[in-house]
Amino acid sequence: PDHRQIRNSADNSPLQIFVKAKKKINDIFGEIEDYVKDSVHYMQELQKEPHILDKDAVTKTEEYVKKVHGIRDVLARDHMKVAFFGRTSNGKSTVINAMLRDKILPSGIGHTTNCFLQVEGSPNDEAYLVLEGTTDHCAVESVGQLAHALCKEKLSESQLVKVYWPKNRCLLLRDDVVFVDSPGVDVTPNLDEWIDLHCLDADVFVLVANAESTLMVTEKNFFHKVSTRLSKPNIFILNNRWDASANEPEFLEQVRRQHQERAIDFLVKELKVCTPKEAEERIFFISAKEALLARIAEQGNTSPSMSLAEGFQNRYFEFQDFERKFEECISKSAVKTKFEQHSQRGKFITSELREALDKIYNDAQKLRDDKLLQRKELHNKVNYTEQQLMVITQEMKQKIHNIVEDVEQRVSKALNE
Ligand code: GTP
Ligand code: MG
Residue 47's pLDDT band, with cuts at 50, 70 and 90, is: confident
The pLDDT score that the predictor gives to residue 305 is 59
Residue 10's pLDDT band, with cuts at 50, 70 and 90, is: low
The pLDDT tens digits for 11-44 are 778 999 999 999 999 999 999 999 999 989 988 8
Q: Which ligand is closest to the CA of 109, given by its number?
A: 1
Distance CA 167, CA 256 (A): 36
CA of 192 from ligand 1 middle (Å) equals 25
Distance CA 264, CA 361 (A): 61
Look at residue 4 and tell me whether its pLDDT is greater than 60.
no
Helix (H/G/I), strand (E/B), else coil: 336? helix
Look at residue 3 and tell me whether its pLDDT is greater than 60.
no
Helix (H/G/I), strand (E/B), else coil: 121? strand
Contact between 80 and 331 (Cβ < 8 Å): yes
Report how far Cα 351 is from the mean position of its chain's Cα atoms: 22
The pLDDT score that the predictor gives to residue 111 is 79
The pLDDT tens digits for 126-154 are 889 888 888 888 888 766 677 777 766 66
Ligand 1 site, residue 188, Cβ cutoff 6 A: no
Collect all residues with Cβ–Cβ distance below 8 Å to 149 and sequence separation of at least 6: 129, 138, 140
Take atom 19 of ligand 1 and give the residue whose Cα is closest: 108
The pLDDT score that the predictor gives to residue 109 is 75
Residue 1's pLDDT band, with cuts at 50, 70 and 90, is: very low
ipTM of the predicted structure? 0.99
Question: Which run of H or E residues covers position 24?
Answer: helix 15-47
In 300-339, which residue ranges form alpha helices assigned H by DSSP?
Answer: 312-334
Contact between 374 and 59 (Cβ < 8 Å): no
Q: How far is CA 353 from CA 57, 65, 197, 267, 278, in A?
A: 10, 11, 37, 46, 43
CA of 117 from ligand 2 middle (Å) equals 9
Parallel/antiparallel/unpaired status of strands 160-166 and 138-139: unpaired
Take atom 13 of ligand 1 and give the residue whose Cα is closest: 91
The pLDDT score that the predictor gives to residue 159 is 85
Closest CA to 101 of 186, 22, 5, 165: 165
Ligand 1 atom index nearest CA of 243: 28
Backbone angles phi, psi at 31, to 5 degrees: -65, -40
Ligand 1 site, residue 289, Cβ cutoff 6 A: yes
Distance CA 150, CA 134 (A): 14
The pLDDT score that the predictor gives to residue 396 is 83
The residue with greater pLDDT, 81 or 189, is: 81
Residue 306's pLDDT band, with cuts at 50, 70 and 90, is: low
The pLDDT score that the predictor gives to residue 143 is 66
The pLDDT tens digits for 337-349 are 889 989 999 999 9
Q: Tell me what the mean pLDDT of segment 208-223 comes to.
A: 93
Contact between 196 and 155 (Cβ < 8 Å): no
Ligand 1 site, residue 103, Cβ cutoff 6 A: no
The pLDDT score that the predictor gives to residue 173 is 95
Q: Which ligand is closest to the CA of 306, given by its number?
A: 1
